[in-house]
Amino acid sequence: MEPTTKNHSAQGIRWDLSDLFAAHDDPRIETALNECREKAEAFAEQFRQAMTEPHSLSAETLLGGLRSLEQIYEALGRVGSYAGLLYAADTAKPEYQDLEQRVEQRGTEIRNLLLFFELAWLKVEDHVANKLINDPKLKSFEHYLTSLRRYRPHTLSELEEKLINEKDNTGRNAFGRLFSEITSSLTFKFERDGNSEELNLSQILSLLHDPERALRQRAMETLYKGLAPHGQVLTFIYDNLIQDHLTTDRLRDYPNPMAPRHLSNEIDGAAVNTMMEVSEANYDLAQNYFRLKAKLLQLPKLALYDQYAPVGKEVRPFAYDQAKQVILGAFESFDPSFRQLASEFFAKNWIDAEIRKGKRGGAFCASPSPQLHPYILCNYDDNLRDVMTVAHELGHGLHGCLSRKQNYFNYDTPLTTAETASVFAEMLVFDHLLAQQTDPQVRISLLAGKLEDVFATVFRQNVLTRFEELAFAARKEKRLTPDAIGKLWLDANGKYYGDAVDMPDGYRWGWSYIPHFIHSRFYCYSYVFGQLLVLALYRMYKDQGQSFVPKYLALLEAGGSATPDALLAPLGVNIQQAEFWQKGFAEIRDLQSKLGALIEK
């Protein structure tokens, strides 16, 4: 049976990828790959010798090499993005599976031809490299050249790097594809109102927000009952990827499993530890809220399936067109440029929102390069939570659009600042919605929903990161089993929920469908960083008004052209201090106080 899609207002809302290629069998794809290969071979012939003679390497030669690299990576990225987006839209279609795998393999071959350039740059002695970096001709590439050298102690020989790239296609990349195909094809048989439905993962998770308690309980039981038969395979995938990561860490001489993520995020691990410790010190915020919610629901104690139960009067259903108007109105109130950019996503079909079988779950925004506009995937299920998801991904999209003035190497932001626009966009839409409501019960629903979203972004992502630390530490000792991973998962979550929420035994499978563990290990702390950072920035916006807007837009336009510390310094942010992170929790306490006052009334 097809997963239920009737009565969803986003039916038919699919992205138009024709700006990239016409179809999976478009002959231009093969032409582009061949041209990239030819240009990469010509690039190697032109620059390999020059890069092995650093003392005679001029700024002009290095500049020429960087510009040539940009052109090749841009063209290769267009093909790779198209293949990835097609695959995400329908992971079950064999043609898309084949294209994604073929492009991945061809891309690896081409990048291996270019690998010598970065490796040679890392071998350049510091005094020579610094002289080149400070040359005015290379000003636009200064950050890229500087930041690249942080990998110098962890880079292997060219041959070894090529071998790792080649083996990854049948190693960790293949296991990642297997995970995506398993979780995207999952269906859950669910009985409701005398009818039997086949729901996909996104739909069954959506039921955990339903007003009916018995339905939420059955949805959670159905979810874990459906995941359990795949547990051995999903465990094997995760266990293998952890071991692959640990092996690579050993070969590259990284001190701990999180170190590569810190390096790619251009952030000091001590700052991350401080942020996570401050987050854990505030777990009582969530636990107190869960106790309050239990009283509101007239329950002695919350069960896990009550965590997202609606309170107050929910705005439901929330049609896709209605979401569009609310989001655009909220963006307009901040700055007209926000609305103008966001309007293009809707008008030009850059969003794929409908729910359908085979489509990847969750949501993401892909911003391939400064030469291309971003694309958004989500699964819109006609509820307020999905309005916030669309707003979140549009924030990413605006960030991608605003930073298109940067060159290819300065375009992407590290994960630590990648959520700056997305979470800010959510806050704009939330405040806009709250201001429109006069019914206290609706306001209670909105505030409770926002608090739960914040808890999911800060506390839950902190838990996910702690779980990863536990899993990696355990894998150093022995192979992970489903039972072992389940216990680690329950242990990490137990510290968060405390005695305020009962966790069912089936929750031991709660880790098994989370894609971040598979595709981007230790990604999750970036959500904590982004949410707490934005709560502080949003308070600044409220305090400073329109004078804040130009500074914020400048931050987004800067893309990844400097370290997070440097990008945030003009806004008065110091991420090394525990006091800064506590400011975010002060904002959360204010939201909780507003909710408490409404309930008391």
Interatomic CA distance for residues 518 and 521, integer angstroms: 6
pLDDT of 247 strictly over 90: yes
Share of the chain above pLDDT 70, in %: 99
Is the peptide bond preceding residue 440 cis, with omega within 30 degrees of 0? no
Interatomic CA distance for residues 38 and 556, integer angstroms: 35
Which tens digit of pLDDT belongs to each residue from 287-343? 999 999 999 999 999 999 999 999 988 777 899 999 999 999 999 999 999 999 999
Which tens digit of pLDDT belongs to each residue from 391-401? 999 999 999 99
Res 1: pLDDT: 29
The answer to whether 334 touches 428, Cβ cutoff 8 Å, is: yes
Res 286: pLDDT: 96
Res 202: pLDDT: 87
pLDDT of 2 strictly over 90: no
The pLDDT-based confidence of 385 (bands split at 50, 70, 90) is confident
Interatomic CA distance for residues 131 and 331, integer angstroms: 44
SS3 for 174-237, per residue? Answer: HHHHHHHHHHHHCCEEEEECCEEEEECHHHHHHHHHCCCHHHHHHHHHHHHHHHHHHHHHHHHH
The pLDDT-based confidence of 3 (bands split at 50, 70, 90) is very low
Mean pLDDT for the chain overall: 93
pLDDT of 168 strictly over 70: yes
Q: How many CB atoms lie within 10 A of CB 274?
A: 17
Interatomic CA distance for residues 380 and 346, integer angstroms: 14
DSSP state of 412: S
Average pLDDT over residues 222-229: 95
Q: Which amino acid is at 153?
A: P
Indicate the burial class of 242 (C-beta count within 10 angstroms; 0-12, 13-18, 19 or more): buried
Q: How far apart are the first and last CA of the chain?
A: 48
Which tens digit of pLDDT belongs to each residue from 65-116? 999 999 999 999 999 999 999 999 999 999 999 999 999 999 999 999 999 9
Interatomic CA distance for residues 254 and 94, integer angstroms: 38
For residue 521, what are the contacts with CB-CB under 8 A and spacing of at least 6? 241, 245, 257, 261, 468
Res 4: pLDDT: 41
Residues found in the chain: 601
**Phi, psi angles (nearest 5°) of residue 511:** -80, -20
Res 419: pLDDT: 87
Res 5: pLDDT: 43
pLDDT of 471 strictly over 60: yes
The answer to whether 444 touches 311, Cβ cutoff 8 Å, is: yes
Res 52: pLDDT: 87
Tokens of 215: 């339905």
